[in-house]
Structure 1
Amino acid sequence: MLTEADLASAKGEIVNDDSVIVGDGALFQEIAQKYLKHCEANTDSKKDYVSALNKHWMPDLALIPIHQITSDLIRDIISDIDFKSDKTFNNCLVPLRGVFEKAIELRLITPAENPMAMIKNKKVQSGLPDPFTRDEMNALLNWLDKNLTDKDHFYYWYFEVAFWTGCRPSELNALRWKDIDWFNGSVIINKSRVRGVEKQVTKTHTAREVYLNDRSKRALEALDAMKLSDDYVMICPETNEPFYNEKPARMRLIEAMKSTRVRHRPAYNARHTYATMLLMSDVNPVFVANQLGHSLQMLIKRYGRWLHGDQNKLEISKLTTD
């Protein structure tokens, strides 16, 4: 057990009596370690949990017995922390809740004694998708095609695939040639690659079959002709290795946006562009949801304003001001 002397020593302070034990019972830091050890989250999420616990919660809670921690104490700690956003606040509460849930599981506290039951998440407003228009997309792709030369021309084909399949960057970077069904014109999306680590699941843990149109199929055929790899479809031209992250591709699209004066948006919005192009072409929403790996409910919630194409403009035009 850590003593007051241990804690004071770490702070550079001096105490005369080092025999005083810090509290009794299992300490917060002990349960936090068990929570992290047993947590089934992926590697990246665990890193975020460790960071949140160490930065925000351990300094005040580490040496307190878990059963002595109250909602008021946690609220006091929260009031002293300047969280960057409500979303950051909610994310930092995730591992804190996990620690107390682990304490309940270990029967160190009862559900009624869980101090997190009184700590609520803050409401976060979800932003609307901000897709490129079809004209903007074509302007960007034309610029990439004409201005990227030699190995860099790879990124033109990369974004042809991104815009015309709606795959997430992490899914494109994990795509392998064996996932492509040339005969039926489709690709199987069931993996992701984040920070150089390949995961055998997508972001939503949903595998899907994405059907190719003439442009996405032509782009994949062009990449196949490059023979950059017999394994991964997307190989970084600078390193000749699978992509560590999406930054190299993103920087090329930023260059294209600046040169064409297209309003800046994240490269991820190629996915939103694909979704909205399908919906505005009156494609069956169920098919669109399947292509994106969404439920129909999520699709409607996320892209509802595009479900009727230009019909919304026609409807508002009926309201005259005369």
Structure 2
Amino acid sequence: MEINFTHNKERFYITLPHPPTAEGISAAAKIRGELKNKAKWGILTDADIASAKGIEVEDSAVIVRAGTLFQEVAQTYLRRWKGDKNSKGNYVNILNYHWMPHLALMPIHTITHDDIQYLIVAREFNTAKTLNNCLIPLRGVFETAIKSKLITENPMAGIENEKVQIGIPDPFSRVEMNALLDWLDINLEGKDQFYHWYFELAFWCGCRPSEMIALRWSDIDWFNGTMRISKSRVRGVEKGVTKTHTVREVYLNDRSTRALKEIQKLKMSNDYVMICPETNEPFYGEETARNRLVDAMQACGIRHRPAYNARHTYATMLLMDGVNPVFVADQLGHSLQMLMKRYAKWMHGDKNKIEMAKLNTN
């Protein structure tokens, strides 16, 4: 937890060894008050600041600076962060949980490559992806130290990401999709009918859930039959960009157009297209809608897949029907290379089955 105050026109940032709990916040407020009072009366010493940071000082009058601590550089890294708030929050959690307990009070220049390698082994990360994600803010802290000329060599050099097995999309078949939509149509009543049309649109437009819940009626071009996808909404925070930072026009078809018109008839909002029936507010995330599709999968006996796979279903239906891959890539917001990498299995339609059938003719 960080406190800060101004003394003699200088801003002091001090990271305290206290957790962000009610007790920790109370302790931090008390420490900050004491430091401010000492600064006001001109009796603030380096020893006072060191003590607040949790550093034991034998001589309370004099402190020999041992160098800038890891926790101080971490706070500088976070203050300079220019990315989205959601990522910053994740990095704060990663630093607090995985790295601060071991590195916080170590001078940044004393941390070695071997120290970090040992910590990585000791943490026993469950998956390679988790490890790779946790290394991002750690690298950021040491890169900040390099830029601030606190260290000359980066101890993260040579610590590479683990290889992550990349899975292939797992779409619903058309039969499964229609069974799910039929179940939602039959079993949801009143305002909950919204979720039937939500997934009708999801299956037939291919948008990411974060893009759908950020969609506004002003983004719908009824005359030209398109939706302008330029925003996303993650954990209740509106982001003025999509995941790929690319604006695109998604063409509507008969089923996606009908879904939008049915949602419009519900008159839930003149602003956002997607309004949560339970709260009458824009969606915080896609969990509520996702749970409805989970209910439908269980009721229909359909193998569980993430609701996100409605997007994969749209992509594979287009490809299986022989739609131009360039158009499909534009609709999804992918590059053609990414589309081919992810959906190569479906790009030949039923030709794969025809080729496999040849094995049975000999």
Return the TM-score normalized by structure 1. 0.93
- Structure number with greater Rg is 2
Tell me what 1:245 maps to.
Answer: 285
How is 1:93-112 mapped onto 2 (pairs within 5 angstroms)?
Answer: 93-110=135-152
Tell me what 2:108 maps to.
Answer: 66
- Are residues 1:162 and 2:202 paired? yes
Q: 1:22, 1:205 → 2: CA distance?
A: 48
Aligned with residue 267 of structure 1, among 289, 303, 307: 307
Q: 2:218, 2:160 → 1: CA distance?
A: 46
- Show structure 1 runs of 5+ residues with no match: 9-14
Tell me what 1:76 maps to.
Answer: 118
**Can you list the C-alpha shifts for 1:34-73, whole angstroms capped at 9, x where unaligned?**
1101111211111111111111111221122222211001
Q: 2:278, 2:204 → 1: CA distance?
A: 24
**Can you list the C-alpha shifts for 1:190-226, whole angstroms capped at 9, x where unaligned?**
1011111111011111111000000000110111111
Q: How many equivalent pairs are there?
A: 314
Match for 2:114: what amino acid? Answer: D
Tell me what 2:133 maps to.
Answer: 91
Q: 1:22, 1:121 → 2: CA distance?
A: 38
**Can you list the C-alpha shifts for 1:110-147, whole angstroms capped at 9, x where unaligned?**
3xx11111211100011111000011000101111111
- Show structure 2 runs of 5+ residues with no match: 1-45
1:16–1:69 Cα change, 3 Å: closer
Does structure 2 conserve the Cα–Cα contact (< 8 Å) formed by 1:282 and 1:309?
A: yes
**Structure 1 residue 231: deviation in Å?**
0.2
Q: 1:178, 1:226 → 2: CA distance?
A: 17
Does structure 2 conserve the Cα–Cα contact (< 8 Å) formed by 1:3 and 1:22?
A: no
Q: 1:173, 1:249 → 2: CA distance?
A: 10
Structure 1 residue runs of 4 or more that deviate by more than 6 Å after TM superposition = none
Tell me what 2:276 maps to.
Answer: 236
Match for 2:168: what amino acid? Answer: L
- Provide the secondary structure at the position in 1 that maps to 2:326: helix
1:24–1:283 Cα change, 3 Å: same
Does structure 2 conserve the Cα–Cα contact (< 8 Å) formed by 1:5 and 1:18?
A: no
Higher alpha-carbon deviation: 73-82 or 174-183:
73-82
Of the two structures, which has the highest relative contact order with CA contacts closer than 8 Å and spacing of 6 or more? 1
Aligned with residue 57 of structure 1, among 91, 99, 102: 99
Q: 2:252, 2:298 → 1: CA distance?
A: 29
Does structure 2 conserve the Cα–Cα contact (< 8 Å) formed by 1:22 and 1:64?
A: no
CA RMSD, 1 decimal: 1.8
Q: 1:257, 1:18 → 2: CA distance?
A: 67
Does structure 2 conserve the Cα–Cα contact (< 8 Å) formed by 1:281 and 1:309?
A: yes
Q: 2:267, 2:72 → 1: CA distance?
A: 52
Return the TM-score normalized by structure 2. 0.83
Q: 2:53, 2:250 → 1: CA distance?
A: 58
How is 1:6-45 mapped onto 2 (pairs within 5 angstroms)?
Answer: 7=54, 17=58, 24-45=66-87
Match for 1:290: what amino acid? Answer: D
How is 1:154-303 mapped onto 2 (pairs within 5 angstroms)?
Answer: 154-303=194-343
- Are residues 1:307 and 2:347 paired? yes
Tell me what 1:116 maps to.
Answer: 156
**Can you list the C-alpha shifts for 1:140-166, whole angstroms capped at 9, x where unaligned?**
011111111111111110001100001
**Structure 1 residue 320: deviation in Å?**
4.0
Match for 1:63: what amino acid? Answer: L
How is 1:117-136 mapped onto 2 (pairs within 5 angstroms)?
Answer: 117-136=157-176
- Provide the secondary structure at the position in 2 that maps to 1:93: helix
Does structure 2 conserve the Cα–Cα contact (< 8 Å) formed by 1:4 and 1:18?
A: no
1:75–1:281 Cα change, 3 Å: same
- Provide the secondary structure at the position in 1 that maps to 2:123: coil
**Structure 1 residue 321: deviation in Å?**
7.6
Higher alpha-carbon deviation: 15-24 or 262-271:
15-24
